[in-house]
Amino acid sequence: MVGDGKRMGDWDPACSNLQFFTEASTYPIWKLEADFEPDSLLQFKLVISQDSAHRWEDKVGNRKVQIYDEDMEFHMNWGEDTISMEALPEDETTDAGDQYLSDNDTLDAADDKRLKSQAHLDGQWHSSQTSGLVTIKNLQATWPHGQKTDLEHIPDTYDASYDYKMYFGGYEHYAIYQPGKLVWSDGDAWQLKDSKPACWSGCLSFLWKPSRK
């Protein structure tokens, strides 16, 4: 998602922090969840990026979305300028997060909602610096030797450079999230097991949660 403003790269695909993701159970639908300030106007285009090659939508003009002070969901198709939207009930969440409460029924509503919004991290990850798989569930990473580490999502209002952080080995480590990939500040790169390659077709689901201070 490339467009006006720092978070969307100021129209530079290589600098955008907003990326759609998919997984085996939802492909070819790609999703993006993001927080935006209410009453702001987004101007953007969809871009397919693979390595240093970028393919822009060329059959539509700049897309425009008005952000309101409520949870909304947009649906878009590549190369079509029509955008459908609907308001989401307060308790509605994405399908990817429906598994959480069965594992921990004691979560309060705020924690439950927070964890569900990060469900795209759940799964097994290959680490470039660790043998074996790192498993993430409910924002907790379990290493092959059994040690557990909590991950913390970094809101865009605090630091737009990184998406997650964790305390491990006596240090804080920071990560940039890309679909199916976490790139850490210490040089480690995690790849989600069985994640799809960076090419796609089909429709997109764009879910936003307005920032509330």
The pLDDT of residue 157: 53
Compute the average pLDDT of residues 206-212.
47
For 17-35, b/e burial (b = at least 16 CB within 10 A) is bbbbbbbeebeeebbbbbe
> Structure tokens of 41?
């106007």
Burial label for 199, CB within 10 Å (0-12, 13-18, 19+), is exposed
- Amino acid making up residue 182: L
Residue 167 has pLDDT above 80, yes or no: yes
Give the pLDDT band of residue 11 (cuts 50, 70, 90).
Answer: very high
Q: Token digits for 80?
A: 């079509």
CB 195 within 8 A of CB 23: yes
* Cis peptide preceding 155, ω within 30 of 0: no
Q: Considering only residues 119 and 78, tell me which one the structure prediction assigns the higher pLDDT.
A: 78
The pLDDT tens digits for 35-62 are: 777 778 889 999 988 878 889 988 888 9
How far is the C-alpha of 142 from the C-alpha of 149, rounded, in Å?
6
Label residue 99 by pLDDT band (50, 70, 90).
Answer: very low
Mean pLDDT of the chain: 75
- Check residue 24 and give its pLDDT: 77
* Whole-number pLDDT of residue 102: 41
Q: How does pLDDT run across 101-148, given as a tens digit for each residue? A: 344 444 455 555 556 667 788 889 888 887 788 999 888 999 888 888
Q: Which of 85-99, 104-118, 154-168, 194-208 has the highest mean pLDDT?
A: 154-168
Which ranges constitute the DSSP H helices of the chain?
100-103, 109-116
Burial zone of 115 (CB within 10 Å; 0-12 exposed, 13-18 middle, 19+ buried): buried
pLDDT tens for each residue of 144-162: 888 888 998 887 655 557 8
Give the mean pLDDT of 6-33.
84
Residue 159: the pLDDT is 52
Considering only 19-23, 142-146, 185-189, 191-195, which range has the smallest mean pLDDT?
191-195
How would residue 177 be classed by pLDDT, with cut points 50, 70 and 90?
Answer: confident
